[in-house]
Homo-oligomer: A and B are copies of this chain.
Amino acid sequence: MEKLSRKEQIKTVAARLFRKRGFKATSMRDIAKAMDMEAPSLYNHISSKRQLLEELLMSIAQSFILGMKEVKEAPLNSLEKLERLIKLHVDITIDHTDAVSLLTNEWVHLEGGAALDFNALKDDYEKDFKGILMACIKEGHLKEVNADLAMFSILSTLRWLYSWYSKNPNVNKIDLEQQMVKLLIPTRNE
């Protein structure tokens, strides 16, 4: 499937440029140039610029949704689930750094149905995340904290992990997972 592969190349290049300059500031001619082709040729593989963004965001969002589903269904206690969620973010961020950055910064440029779908996924994800965090608090694994604020803080760090990782690309994945768990989980007794 040469066509599919070509489309994936374009998406990879687009993700890199969208991240670097932003979606609106990246032109189809920029993408074409980075692909060594002319702008109109891109349209043999994709249908529009906004489709590029939508597919990039939706596919990485699905990775998080799937990961959340697995964590929820796993036979673990709430604290272990929270650890697994943190590791999920670390892993996806390391493997798909550019796409993750779009999830943080460029989703505002989605329009119409895609924007609605995306926000629904985001709300579901955050609701599930909060549920696990609150279970941790209720079961006494965590310090008593404002759950909303704690979730906001943890997710803020995880959302910006891509920029830290980009400046420290040689870090070991397992090490980073453990450091993030240690940093983000305010355990009661140490």
Chain A residues within 8 Å of chain B by Cβ, number: 28
What is the 8 Å Cβ interface bit string for chain A, positions 132-165, against chain B (1 contact, 0 not)?
0000000000010110111011001101100010
Interface of A with B (CB < 8 Å)?
A: 21-22, 24-25, 105, 108-109, 143, 145-146, 148-150, 152-153, 156-157, 159-160, 164, 168, 179-180, 182-184, 186, 190
**A-B pairs with beta carbons under 8 Å apart, 7 shown:** A21-B108, A22-B24, A149-B164, A150-B183, A153-B157, A156-B159, A186-B186
Q: How far is the CA of A143 from the CA of B25 in the complex (A)?
A: 43
Q: How far is the CB of A22 from chain B (nearest CB, A)?
A: 6
Contact of B25 with A145 in the complex, beta carbons under 8 Å: no
Contact of B160 with A109 in the complex, beta carbons under 8 Å: no
For this chain, the copies found in one complex come to: 2
Q: How far is the CA of A157 from the CA of B145 in the complex (A)?
A: 15
Q: How far is the CA of A42 from the CA of B156 in the complex (A)?
A: 36
Contact of B109 with A153 in the complex, beta carbons under 8 Å: no
Q: How far is the CB of A190 from chain B (nearest CB, A)?
A: 8
Which B-chain residue is minimally distant from A164 (CB atoms)? B152
Contact of A153 with B105 in the complex, beta carbons under 8 Å: no
Q: How far is the CB of A36 from chain B (nearest CB, A)?
A: 25
Q: How far is the CA of A176 from the CA of B143 in the complex (A)?
A: 18
